[in-house]
Structure 1
Amino acid sequence: MSERVRRGIVLVLSAPSGAGKSTLVRKLLREFPGIGYSVSYTTRAPRGAERDGVDYHFVDRDRFLAMREAGEFAEWAEVHGNFYGTAKAPVLALLDQGRDVLFDIDVQGAAQLRTAFPEGVLVFILPPSLAELERRLRGRGTDAPEVVTKRLENARAEIAAAERFDFLILNDDLERACDELRAVYLAARLRPGLRPGLVADLLAEWGEHG
């Protein structure tokens, strides 16, 4: 049977702040280190120990706008006066190599990625309840009360969009949520469109030996 390269998948994760998405992403990447992680471009300055090319590609506003006008972004958004975007070419290169690519992105970005990569798998992480989400956000102690209030307002709008995603995972138990995310990822890798020629090659081989 001829050697085949499985085409990679685009796995998109979205959630309201405080739903535990970052923890689930870290656990999935630790279990499957071969997954590529999409590094976004941004016009904001690095924070703390952030590294260029690892956490973000840090570029100035003119460079970002030039890339946007050239159609280089699969998705982009302006958030709090700064631009964020995902370059399409590196993602396509990884997919062609059979590498899966994970996006940790907001609802707006996920909608754009649905257009850019129609075969992508969109997963929304839900908190157990809005009351629990508020408890988590206030328990962090890192945001001012008005910031928490704004995050909760955004969460309602984000959760309202959740039914447009392919899969919903309720993060009320971390280990179960991890199991469910793993199941979604492994099942998505088995879709026929990702193994072009597999069935035809098997039938051809059958004919040769029939």
Structure 2
Amino acid sequence: MTNIRRRGLLLVLSSPSGAGKSTLSRRLLEKDPDITMSISTTTRSPRPGEVDGRDYHFVSVAEFERLVAEDGFLEHAKVFDNYYGTPAAPVEAALKQGKDILFDIDWQGTQQLAQKTKGDLVRIFILPPNKKELERRLKSRAQDSDEVVAKRMSKANQEISHWAEYDYVIINNDLEEAEQELFAILRAERLKRERQTGLVDFVKELMGEA
């Protein structure tokens, strides 16, 4: 197999809460050693089992606002009364090294990311098969109260309305099929000519040998 030097890409998965983006993200990270998760900074409190620096960088509101003022985020947004942001420096360094980074962010963050990263960005929106299934998945997680579940359901239409801003849409009716579609998209995007920065040198060498 010929390995061609390439620039990394930023893979964004967005969806309404409960549509399956976190499960698909976890499966992708477990099976593909060439992609890592972007660690967001947030002002929300850690959930049981979450570790600072592994799952999120947990900071105070004051610290978050300081980072915003210093232009330290590629994107940031307020979601369900908490702030989330993507630190710029580690992402930019990874791209130059040819590493891929996965983002689990909403449409607001994706819009901001698109303004700063342009050709490096691949956007995928995950849709549930229907609203009834979406509500069932939210309740089955047993992470949120009935009040929070209702709040997430009421916001689902607003989130879904942004589907057309994405490069790809996956309907997560069957998790195995959705996973296969996700891997197919990633493989195709990695093979794009403009991302393979080593092709020019490879072709020059190839032509010289002819």
TM-score (norm 1): 0.90
Counterpart residue identity of residue 90, structure 2: P
Q: What corresponds to 1:174 in structure 2?
A: 175
Alignment of 1:107-122 (within 5 A): 107-119=107-119, 120-122=121-123
- Residue 118 of structure 1: SS of its match in structure 2? helix
Q: What corresponds to 1:68 in structure 2?
A: 68
Q: Identify if the C-alpha distance between structure 1 residues 208 and 79 changes in structure 2 by more than 3 Å, giving closer, same or farther.
A: closer
- Residue 11 of structure 2: SS of its match in structure 1? strand
- Residue 111 of structure 2: SS of its match in structure 1? helix
Identity value in percent: 49
Alignment of 1:1-210 (within 5 A): 5-119=5-119, 120-198=121-199, 200-210=200-210
Verify the 8 A CA contact 1:6 1:196 in the aligned structure 2.
yes
List gaps (5 residues or longer) in structure 1. Answer: none
Verify the 8 A CA contact 2:19 2:134 in the aligned structure 1.
yes
- Residue 74 of structure 1: SS of its match in structure 2? strand
Verify the 8 A CA contact 1:38 1:91 in the aligned structure 2.
yes
Counterpart residue identity of residue 76, structure 1: H
Mapped to 2, the partners of 1:78 and 1:165 lie a distance apart of 20
Verify the 8 A CA contact 1:36 1:94 in the aligned structure 2.
no
Aligned length in residues: 207
RMSD: 1.8
Verify the 8 A CA contact 1:7 1:99 in the aligned structure 2.
yes
Verify the 8 A CA contact 2:16 2:160 in the aligned structure 1.
yes
TM-score (norm 2): 0.90
List gaps (5 residues or longer) in structure 2. Answer: none
Mark the structure with the bigger radius of gyration.
1
